[in-house]
Amino acid sequence: MVGLGTIVNVAAIIIGSIIGYYINDRFSKTLQESLMTAIGVALLVIGISGVIVRMLRVSNGRFDTQGTMLLILSLVIGTLLGEWWQIDLTMAKLGTIIRQKMIYFRKDLDHSDNLFIDGFVSATLITCIGAMAVIGSLQDGLTGDSAMLLSKSLLDLITCIVLSASLGIGVLFSALPVGVYQGTLTLLAYWLSPFLTAQLISDLSLVGSALITALALNLLWEQKIRVANMLPALLVPIVYSLIQFLVEKL
């Protein structure tokens, strides 16, 4: 069933967030910080390994790199676009709007403005960017194979339990952008299939892995990298591949 992976993924985020929110009082502050560090370490390893796997190639017994210029250009151009569009600020405003709507149902949320927004933004970035979200959604749309998204659902379930226990119920609402983002990729996969080459998928995974690494740095060392403003970097490999496709057809 096409789209099953995204449906399960959204459900896993909601369930994990609810579980984490209601068991947070059982976690001490120290334990919450330790669990957040553990998530950061896991993301750092996933991000770096994803970059290494897609950049390093063995040729004649020697290591060669590929995609370096594309990665640099993607991050630079993507960041310029993201800063121009103020994606980070837009996500924060969206989190504020959602929180204000929630106050009508839960008055106790009124004191946790920044925490709610941090939970929403952090969970959205973690669950949306990365190779599994992109490749899994494309596979689901092209072949109906949702295995990768189902595996991602389990990871997101665990991640959202930890994040929600530390950052609150704002994590739950990351299910909305995940559903829209992955659902759109799945639906568009059919029309994108003519130029969805293995190289493009690899390039998207490379850039996504770099963004995951940046997000991990924020979690581990409280850096102020505006990862949301770097998201347009994922558009650069798509535009580059599309130009190549059109040139070949001419």
Q: What is the pLDDT of residue 112?
A: 55
Return the pLDDT at 150.
93
In the chain, how long is the greatest CA-to-CA distance?
Answer: 65
Which residues, 6+ apart, have CB-to-CB distance to 91 below 8 Å? 120, 121, 124, 228
Tokens at 82, concatenated: 């993201």
Over residues 41-68, the mean pLDDT reads 84
* pLDDT tens-digit readout, 170-184: 999 999 999 999 999
Residue 227: name the closest of 148, 118, 134 by CA.
Answer: 118
Sign of CA dihedral 59, 62, 67, 73: negative
Amino acid at 170: G
pLDDT at 7: 94
Place of tokens 């190549």: 244
Structure tokens at 30: 């120290």
Over residues 143-168, the pLDDT tens digits come to 888 989 999 999 899 999 999 988 88
User: Which of these ranges, 3-12, 19-28, 47-56, has the smallest mean pLDDT?
Assistant: 19-28
| pTM listed for this prediction | 0.86
Highest mean pLDDT among 2-16, 49-63, 122-136: 2-16
| Residue 192 pLDDT class (50, 70, 90 cuts) | confident
Token digits of residue 188:
């568009």
CA–CA separation, 159 and 248 (whole Å): 43
Beta bridge partners of 57: 64
Does the structure show a pLDDT above 50 at 110? no
* Residue 226 CB neighbour total at 10 angstroms: 18
What is the per-residue pLDDT for 61?
Answer: 67
Torsion of CA 143, 8, 195, 203, to 10 degrees: -120
